[in-house]
């Protein structure tokens, strides 16, 4: 017997099977929660931050001193001139930030391909990222052991300084923030996985009850008779045995 599929019919089928659908959703949610809790290994993540500048304070002060010496050859030095040169020595110009930002991007590639640095990973996942428009580099380390992640992050930051001064004869590198041992894992997300499991269970159960109804060819109501024979049903004889 062919059946007409309408939205109303689908809703009726789902409403009649709502307990089964809800139980299926709860069952899948429980399965996903247990899988996330006992099967998937937790992953921890921590980070440290370093900075790289294509200049340093000593270099700027030397440049300012040289400028002051050149000026003194042309005119007598005054207290105002000395003060101005000292102020210049303390300033950071936009060109300095731009140059340092470009240097930081170059150093990320340099660090990622350094054998001395990659040898410290110890099975952890390590990523380098430059904060946009700055000369700050964030080193993120992920792995199954929280203490190991923190140790690797700090060791990599220290090794970056050593590798930098081997490869570059100018500028400076320093640490802004050291890595701390993470107290909770970043994955798996038990709440998210449980909700995903519940959604999968609800969808599968709904599809199953609709499919079973479509392949069911038995006559269950007078509407089925009317649809088959194209005649109206005027009366029904109840089954008193039931």
Kindly list the domain boundaries of the chain, sorted by start residue. 7-39+188-229, 44-177
Place of tokens 């992050």: 153
In this prediction the pTM is 0.71
> What average pLDDT does this structure show over 32-53?
96
Q: For residues 59 and 197, which has the higher predicted lDDT (pLDDT)?
A: 197
> What average pLDDT does this structure show over 48-52?
97
> Is it true that domain 44-177 has CATH number 3.40.50.1860?
no
For the chain, the straight-line distance linking the first and the last C-alpha, in angstroms and rounded, comes to 26
The confidence score (pLDDT) of residue 29 equals 97
Tell whether the model's pLDDT for residue 206 goes beyond 90: yes
59 Cβ contact list (under 8 Å, min separation 6): 170
Q: Contact at 8 Å (CB) between 117 and 152?
A: no
Q: What does the block give as tokens for 195?
A: 């909700």
Which of 36-50, 51-65, 163-177, 184-198 has the least mean pLDDT? Answer: 51-65
CA distances from 218 to 2, 14, 222 (A): 11, 18, 12
Q: Return the percentage of the chain with pLDDT > 90, whole number.
A: 61
Tell whether the model's pLDDT for residue 97 goes beyond 70: yes
pLDDT tens for each residue of 119-129:
999 999 999 99
Which of 62-76, 77-91, 179-193, 223-237 has the least mean pLDDT? Answer: 62-76
How many CB atoms sit inside 10 A of residue 231's CB?
Answer: 8
The confidence score (pLDDT) of residue 85 equals 54
> What average pLDDT does this structure show over 7-18?
89
> What average pLDDT does this structure show over 128-156?
96
CA 36 from centroid of its chain's CA atoms:
18
């Amino acid at each position: 017997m062919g059946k007409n599929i309408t939205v109303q019919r689908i809703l009726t089928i789902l409403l009649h099977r709502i307990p089964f659908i809800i139980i299926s959703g709860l069952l899948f949610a429980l399965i996903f929660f247990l899988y996330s809790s006992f099967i998937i290994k937790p992953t921890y993540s921590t980070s440290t931050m370093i900075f790289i500048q294509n200049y340093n304070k000593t270099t700027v002060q030397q440049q300012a001193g040289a400028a002051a010496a050149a000026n003194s050859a042309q005119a007598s030095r005054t207290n105002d001139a000395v003060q101005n040169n000292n102020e210049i020595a303390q300033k950071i110009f936009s060109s300095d930030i731009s140059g340092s930002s470009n240097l930081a991007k170059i150093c990320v590639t340099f660090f990622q391909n350094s054998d001395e640095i990659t040898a410290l990973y110890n099975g952890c996942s390590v990523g380098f990222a430059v904060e946009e428009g700055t000369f700050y580099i964030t080193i993120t380390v992920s792995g199954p052991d929280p203490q190991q992640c923190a140790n690797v992050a700090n060791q990599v930051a220290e090794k970056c300084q050593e590798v930098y001064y081997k490869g570059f004869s100018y500028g400076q590198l320093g640490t802004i923030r050291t890595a701390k041992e993470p107290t909770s894992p970043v994955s798996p997300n038990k709440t998210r996985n449980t909700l995903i499991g519940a959604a999968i269970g609800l969808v599968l159960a709904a599809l199953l009850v609709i499919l079973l109804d479509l392949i069911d060819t038995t006559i269950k109501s007078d509407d089925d008779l009317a649809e088959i024979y194209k005649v109206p049903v005027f009366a029904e004889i109840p089954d008193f045995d039931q």
